[in-house]
Amino acid sequence: MTYSEEQINDLKKFFGAEVSFRPDRSVPFLFIRDLPLPKGCVPDKTDAVFIPKHYQGYSSRLYLKNRATHPNQLPGKPNWQDPHIIYGEPWYVFSFNNVEPGPLSRMVVDHLRGLVNG
């Protein structure tokens, strides 16, 4: 799976971040540097790895370099999983599923809502 320059540029423009595409086998890793997190999150930005296709039982996955907290999170939410090793580094992901396919920037925003609403 590959992504057009237009799709990558949309992510860069939407988030004001550096984005690179680094596939590994059949997994389309999109690295997003300094992804802005929803207002109120601590930290307010972090590096991320986005996999915009079905992966490990989820419709898509958004891995964060740092776990984020938000004052509106319910106890135990989001449901953070043990770190996953991607390109030799630990990345954190919370259980969040059924993000509808569409523009990559909208898919990332949908995942980020899970940080606030759990």
CB burial of 46-68 (b: ≥16 within 10 Å; e: otherwise) equals bbbbbbbeeeeebbbbbbbbeeb
Confidence of residue 118 (pLDDT cuts 50, 70, 90): low
For the residues 12-37, what does the mean pLDDT come to? 88
103-113 average pLDDT score:
93
Overall pTM > 0.85: yes
Q: Report how far residue 75's alpha carbon sits from residue 32's, in angstroms, rounded to the nearest whole number.
A: 28
- pLDDT of 60 > 90? The answer is yes
Position 45 scores a pLDDT of: 96
Domain count, the chain: 1
Per-chain mean pLDDT for the chain: 89
Range of the structural domain that residue 14 is part of? 5-117
